Chains A and B, each alone.
Chain A
Amino acid sequence: MENEDIVIRVRDLVKKFGQFVADDHLSFDVYKGEIFGFLGANGAGKTTAIRMLCGLLEPTSGELTVAGLDGFKQREAIKRRIGYMSQKFSLYEDLTVNENIRLFAGIYGIPTRIRKEKTEELLEKLELTSARKKLVRDLPLGWKQKLAFSLAIIHDPSIVFLDEPSGGVDPVTRRRFWDLIYEAAHEGITVFVTTHYMDEAEYCDRVAIMSAGKIVALDTPEALKKEWDATSMDGVFLKLARSNE
């Protein structure tokens, strides 16, 4: 039976590059408004998985539904329904805050009138109104991160994918950034986040841990800690890694 609240449905998803199996029979569901964490060492298959979910890569086999759309045949349509923020909080550094907003609003086809409203709203929320004509290059890292996130959800996507969104940011700024993520989730946007900061993993509703192309654990942080008898996600991760060696 199909659950209406499932926004990402993955069944036996496989991606092979020649002989190499990057993702080996992944299966999981992500629910609406959920903050879903995706953990794993580099090379565990996280990036390949997220690329398939975003419609960038065609899976080799399995089933994939994202925002009600087929991950094999409707990849272009999926792109309209999702937002994406990369680990480099990629904005155009030589453009101003305003120009970046205008560009991304334009790319997602937001009409001019709505764009203007949204721009004011967004600048106010981020307390960037006075810096709107500043080049992004001159903003502090934390502001760039927040701006990048706000632009990733400027078109009200059903899901936003965050690929290691907190690289190089200190824990306090990271915490503030998560307030934005909670707010988005509260508004009904599903958040799919990859990370290797274990404190971030604790903020997620549920976490999947990947190792060597497979999902080796999937549950709430509390349940995982209990199961592996650890006080933090760090401990869970270490014990999992050892048991898989």
Chain B
Amino acid sequence: MKQLLGFIRKEFRHIFRDPRTMIILFGIPIVQLLLFGYVITTEIKDARIAILDKSHDEVTREITHKLLSSGYFKLDAMLDNEGQIDNIFRQGNVKEVVVFQDDFGKRLKRDGQANVQVIADASDPNTAQLLSNYTNAIVQDYLQKKFVNYKIPLEIKPQVRMLFNESLVGAFMYVPGTMALILIIISAMMTSITIVREKEMGTMEILLVSPLKSHHIIIGKVTPYLILSVINAVTIVILGNLVFGVPVRGSLILLMFVVILYIMLALSLGILISTIAASQFSAMFVSIMALMLPTMLLSGFIYPIDNMPVVLQVLSNIMPARWFIEAVKAVMLKGVGAGYIWKQLLIMAGMTIFFLGISVKKFKLRLE
């Protein structure tokens, strides 16, 4: 234990004495969070929606058909009552729920006015905004074409409600995304570089010949990065709250648990990269190409996963960040408990064990 502490102390010294490392560790996260506060527009395709039709008449059926055949929406469920709405959003499969009031068709023809409620999951504000706009446009289009020669002017009033993020703040989306990106950079890239550096300098040989066990070496190398990453994650959450007003609605402990699990996952990736990469440069290159870019593009951080080509959607499943972002958004914005994100937690834990397993195997092979 004492050996290990001495080793960890040395690792901290490496970090604090290297200005470049310090900039990557503490400068980049803040700059990125502020940069990503700005919005990037995206497109809608096959967004999953649920419909609650209290009227079940010809008009609501036709509007439903029109929505679903537009190519923008895909039916996830027909709901029976309002009580189901909250639940279906918390499960996270559905982006929007459309509610037709009772006697919709009758009211429309009798009073010239009927109400449709559009509720969107605004924890992803870009998508939510686009979805509600599209829905509205389709409904209005239907109205104009269908009742083109009707005697009184008809009106369908859409009432839009943005769930979880009423004011559609872009940062709500970018705080979890930035966390995903930063933690991958620090944990995976920095650890792979620092381990490979020991190989390059020849100090790894000395450590291997010493009585330190190889798992001690690994723990000693990654512990400082685990601690610093947690500090960074906390900083991002605080900054997101103070600057952009991003709330933490769920349990803070659960959020930290998700964060630490993801950091472990990233660290295991870093260790894996270090067993493959021969130089610090190639460790950095592999980290950027294999981790950073896919994390930005495929995790749902910038582009909604639902709109990607099927191949990329499948690919996004193997992005650790995808599951992290889903879990963090659910805890921070929807305020759900562990019961709602067990799938994401399980996947991340599974990935961590898988990557560690390969690393250990590779590590031994390299020695032989």
Contact = CB atoms under 8 A, between A and B. Distances in A.
Interface of A: 17, 54-57, 76, 79-80, 82, 84-88, 90-95, 99, 102-104, 106-109, 161
11 contacts: A82-B209, A84-B210, A85-B206, A86-B205, A87-B202, A90-B203, A95-B10, A103-B10, A107-B3, A107-B211, A108-B210
Contacts of A76: 211, 213
Nearest to B204: A90
B36 to A, nearest CB: 33
Contact of A94 (B18, B205, B213): B18
Contacts of A92: 10, 14, 201, 203
Interface in B72-124: none
A80 B211 contact: yes
Given A84-B206, A99-B13, A107-B6, A90 B211 contact: no
Contacts of B201: 88, 90, 92-93
A16 to B, nearest CB: 11
Given A76-B211, A84-B205, A90-B203, 5 more contacts: A57-B368, A92-B14, A99-B10, A106-B6, A108-B210
A56 B7 contact: no
Interface string B171-189: 0000000000000000000
Given A56-B367, A94-B17, A108 B211 contact: yes
A79 B10 contact: no
A211 to B, nearest CB: 23
Contacts of A104: 210
A86 B206 contact: yes
Contact of A79 (B6, B203, B211, B367): B211
B3 to A, nearest CB: 6
Contacts of A94: 13-14, 17-18
Given A90-B205, A95-B10, A109 B3 contact: yes
Contact of B209 (A54, A103, A109): A54
A87 B212 CA distance: 20
Nearest to A111: B2
Given A91-B203, A95-B10, A106 B3 contact: yes
Interface of B: 2-3, 5-7, 10, 13-14, 17-18, 201-203, 205-213, 367-368
Contacts of B209: 54-56, 79, 82, 84, 161
Contact of B368 (A17, A99, A107, A108): A17
Nearest to A163: B205
A85 B205 CA distance: 9
B17 A56 contact: no
A106 B207 CA distance: 12
B194 to A, nearest CB: 11
A115 B248 CA distance: 49
A103 B207 CA distance: 11
Contacts of B13: 94-95, 99
Nearest to A96: B13
A106 B4 CA distance: 8
A191 to B, nearest CB: 15
A82 B368 CA distance: 20
Most buried by B among A17, A85, A94: A94
B206 A102 contact: no
Nearest to B213: A76
Contacts of B211: 76, 79-80, 107-109
A92 B213 CA distance: 19
Most buried by A among B6, B203, B206, B208: B206
Nearest to B5: A106
A243 to B, nearest CB: 33
Nearest to A83: B209
A85 B201 CA distance: 13
Contacts of A80: 211
B125 to A, nearest CB: 45
Contacts of B202: 86-88, 90
B6 A103 contact: yes
A55 B212 CA distance: 13
B49 to A, nearest CB: 57
Given A95-B13, A99-B13, A107 B7 contact: yes
Nearest to A106: B6
Contacts of A90: 201-203, 205-206
A66 to B, nearest CB: 12
Leading 3 A-B pairs by shortest Cβ distance: A106-B6, A88-B202, A90-B202
Nearest to A58: B368
Contacts of B207: 107
A54 B210 CA distance: 9
B79 to A, nearest CB: 62
Contacts of B212: 107
Nearest to B220: A107
